[in-house]
Amino acid sequence: MSELNYLILWGVLPPLLLLFYYFHRVPNSPSLFRLLLFFALGAISGGIALILQSNFEIILGTFTNWQSIRGYLVVEIWRQLVKVAPIEETCKLATVFLPAWFFQRRYKLRRTSLFLFAIAVSLGFTAQQNCVSLLNGTESIVERLIRTPAHAMFSAPWAYAIAITVGCRIDSEDDRKLFPQAWINSIICHALVNILSSASREPSLSFLNYGLFPLLLWMFWRLEQLLRKIERKSSIILVTAKTPKHRYFQRGLILLTLILGGNAIFGLFLLARILSPLSWGEFFGSSILWFTLSRSLVNIGFGILAWGIYRYLYFSGTQYLPQKLDGLEHTEESPYSRSQETGDRSQE
């Protein structure tokens, strides 16, 4: 396989497939050509972010010996919060906001279109990072596949903010605060994921890796919830109990679901990373097959248990939640709900 085909297959194709999924899933989505255009713009913004980060490190290197202290976790936290996450999220946001603001007056873009444009830019950004990482050999194919939806999940808060403010032309005091709040939210989530994924470099902090996939699972849930709001669908409410005691119990079940489900995915990811260097002959050895089967069954069992708890909470909400309580919980579900209601009134 040539190098170009290798990059297309493992670097570009997975983000494109995820983009096609959202294109077919969302009703009245924009044309595929427009989504692919924003996908290409996202890849360009990834290159710009890479250049900006390189220049940042060059400038920083004039003041301190940056490379000698780079391996420490405290330095990595500072690096993610000051350099990586702000630059990358700002590049993605600008790539979506500037064309959307310019064309909104002429085409009156739907909120779903603006949200999908943000997803397309994020996935294009991911494709660019995949190609760079695979070319340099800094990450394996399995690691890049796991990271495919990550940038879309990072960008969900400001994507929602763009869809509400630009798509509805709202200029209230609350909505002027929505953009910086959403941008900061994305930066913190982006930095936190990178910090947790880099914690394995220090053996004493490797336990932090067990918080990575529950966090990613929660961020995927948030992305889906915000997309439902953009589509004007009711949020999926899992905390429905009337008494504080039972509400805390349901919140505990949600946390347990995230821990079980996230670490089930983490276990399968570790298994795939262990098995990826093996040849087919080694893989079909009896000891390797037994190891693979036992680990897979354990992790799948945890995943099924997490899914069962989630379905219990979901059906509890749909069967026993009164209509009045449902409206109250819908108001409390998201910090952006106030802007959603204002946007709905403006479009009517």
pLDDT value at residue 261: 95
Same domain membership, residue 293 and residue 195: no
Same domain membership, residue 230 and residue 114: yes
Please classify residue 96 by burial: count the beta carbons closer than 10 Å to its beta carbon, then call 0-12 exposed, 13-18 middle and 19+ buried.
Answer: buried
pLDDT value at residue 243: 87
pLDDT value at residue 322: 52
Same domain membership, residue 314 and residue 226: no
Same domain membership, residue 254 and residue 224: no
Question: Could you tell me the two tokens for 304?
Answer: 């099924």
Same domain membership, residue 138 and residue 21: yes
From residue 44, alpha-carbon distances to 95, 207, 241 in Å are: 9, 36, 48
Same domain membership, residue 17 and residue 96: yes
Q: 178 — phi, psi (to 5°)?
A: -65, -40
Q: What is the pLDDT of residues 145-182, one digit of tens each?
A: 888 999 999 999 999 999 988 866 555 555 667 888 99
Same domain membership, residue 63 and residue 173: yes
343 contacts 170 by C-beta, under 8 angstroms = yes
pLDDT value at residue 59: 82
Same domain membership, residue 231 and residue 243: no
Same domain membership, residue 288 and residue 257: yes
pLDDT value at residue 84: 93
Q: What is the pLDDT of residues 40-75, one digit of tens each?
A: 999 999 999 999 999 888 887 777 666 666 667 778
pLDDT value at residue 104: 80
pLDDT value at residue 65: 67
Residues of the domain holding 193: 3-235
Dihedral sign for Cα atoms in the order 230, 224, 93, 128? negative
| Distance of alpha carbon 130 from alpha carbon 15, whole angstroms | 9
Which residue ranges in the chain fall short of pLDDT 50? 321, 323-348
Same domain membership, residue 152 and residue 115: yes
Same domain membership, residue 266 and residue 212: no
pLDDT value at residue 14: 93
Neighbours of 136 (CB within 10 A): 8
128 contacts 135 by C-beta, under 8 angstroms = no
| Distance of alpha carbon 53 from alpha carbon 55, whole angstroms | 5
pLDDT value at residue 166: 80
| Distance of alpha carbon 328 from alpha carbon 321, whole angstroms | 11
C-alpha closest to that of 342 among 180, 225, 226, 168 = 168
Measured CA angle at 294 (ends 288, 296), to 5 deg: 100
184 contacts 251 by C-beta, under 8 angstroms = no
30 contacts 116 by C-beta, under 8 angstroms = yes
pLDDT value at residue 324: 43
pLDDT value at residue 153: 96
pLDDT value at residue 235: 82
Considering the domain boundaries, does residue 339 fall inside one?
no
From residue 151, alpha-carbon distances to 25, 146, 217, 258, 324 in Å are: 19, 11, 13, 20, 36
| Distance of alpha carbon 218 from alpha carbon 204, whole angstroms | 25
| Distance of alpha carbon 333 from alpha carbon 228, whole angstroms | 12
Identity at 260, one-letter amino acid code: L
What is the tally of structural domains in the chain? Answer: 2
Tell me the pTM: 0.85
| Distance of alpha carbon 340 from alpha carbon 160, whole angstroms | 9
pLDDT value at residue 175: 62
Question: Could you tell me the two tokens for 163?
Answer: 């869809």
Considering the domain boundaries, does residue 117 fall inside one?
yes
Classify 232 in phi/psi space as left (phi over 0), alpha (psi -120 to 50) or beta: left
Same domain membership, residue 177 and residue 163: yes
